[in-house]
Amino acid sequence: MNQLPTRQIPGVYHRRFGEVLVTALSDGFVEMGYDIFREFSRDEVDRMMARDHRLSPPRISVNCFLLRGPMGRVLIDTGSQDNFGPTAGKLFENLAAAGVDPASIEHVLLTHCHPDHSAGLTDTRDGRRLFPNARLIVNRKEIAHWFSDEERDRADERKRLRYFDWTRAQVGPYRDAGLLDEAGDGDEVLPGITLLECAGHTPGHSTWAIRSQGRQMIVWGDLAHVPEVQVARPGVSMSFDHDPDLAARNRIALLQRIHDEDMLVAGMHIHFPGFGWLMRDGDGWRIATEQWAFEI
Whether the pLDDT of residue 7 is over 90: the answer is: no
Tell me whether residue 295 is in a domain: no
Tell me how crowded residue 21 is: count the other CB atoms within 10 A of its CB. 14
Percent of the chain past pLDDT 90, that is, above it, reads 81
The answer to pTM > 0.75 is yes
Tell me whether residue 3 is in a domain: no
Q: What is the pLDDT of residues 29-67, one digit of tens each?
A: 998 888 888 878 888 888 877 787 777 788 899 999 999
C-alpha distances (whole Å) from 156 to each of 121, 141, 215, 268 are: 24, 20, 43, 27
Tell me whether residue 7 is in a domain: no
C-alpha distances (whole Å) from 278 to each of 217, 232, 272 are: 12, 10, 16
How far apart, in whole angstroms, are the C-alpha atoms of residue 279 and residue 229? 14
Tell me whether residue 4 is in a domain: no
Lowest mean pLDDT among 2-6, 54-58, 207-211, 245-249: 54-58
Q: What is the pLDDT of residues 11-37, one digit of tens each?
A: 999 999 999 999 999 999 998 888 888
Tell me whether residue 267 is in a domain: yes
Residue 128: pLDDT band (50, 70, 90) is: very high
Tell me whether residue 242 is in a domain: yes
Tell me whether residue 161 is in a domain: yes
Q: Please report, for the domain that includes residue 165, its CATH number.
A: 3.60.15.10
Range of the domain at 134: 12-289
Three-state secondary-structure class, residue 252: helix
**Contacts of residue 8, Cβ cutoff 8 Å, sequence gap at least 6:** none
The count of domains in the chain is 1
Residue 1: pLDDT band (50, 70, 90) is: low
Task: Please give the mean pLDDT across all residues of the chain.
Answer: 94
